[in-house]
Amino acid sequence: QVQLQESGPGLVKPSQTLSLTCTVSGGSISSGSYYWSWIRQPAGKGLEWIGRIYTSGSTNYNPSLKSRVTISVDTSKNQFSLKLSSVTAADTAVYYCARDTLYSNYYYYYYMDVWGKGTTVTVSS
């Protein structure tokens, strides 16, 4: 059974770059038709999709964050990563990684079926 685990600093200073890694266990990050996504959730608020990556390196980003976000993949380590630059207090949130699975029945549907437990990142000096 595939499991995801987020890791990275829990505290980041304003204007710096937030860096998180998601480690995939129980399966290869390269197997199957999967994208790998990042999602965040400020305390008491809703979910915000940040972006996703395919193992080929193809990415899609939330337009509102695109100028500050980079998602990358390291298939040799079975990991994918998030970098968010120039952070402010508004970037304080729980950050989740998730597997974005393809389902095809003539059309091609994606859904996020496996999630990490989330990691809390606070932006503060």
Partner 1 sequence: DIQMTQSPSSLSASVGDRVTITCRASQSISSYLNWYQQKPGKAPKLLIYAASSLQSGVPSRFSGSGSGTDFTLTISSLQPEDFATYYCQQSYSTQYSFGQGTKLEIK
Please list the residues that pair with 119 across neighbouring strands: 95
Write down the least CB distance from residue 14 to partner 1, Å. 26
Write down the least CB distance from residue 5 to partner 1, Å. 11
- Give the binding site for partner 1 (CB under 8 A): 37, 39, 46-49, 52, 60-63, 96, 98, 103, 105, 107, 109-113, 115-118
Of 21 and 62, nearer to partner 1 (C-beta) is: 62
Alpha-carbon separation of residue 108 from 2, 39, 57, 65, 87 (angstroms): 22, 21, 20, 26, 35
Residue pair 38/116 in contact (Cβ under 8 Å)? The answer is: no
Of 16 and 70, nearer to partner 1 (C-beta) is: 70
Of 51 and 87, nearer to partner 1 (C-beta) is: 51
Of 44 and 76, nearer to partner 1 (C-beta) is: 44
Using CA atoms, how far apart are residues 8 and 106, in angstroms rounded to an integer?
39
Write down the least CB distance from residue 110 to partner 1, Å. 4
Using CA atoms, how far apart are residues 50 and 125, in angstroms rounded to an integer?
24
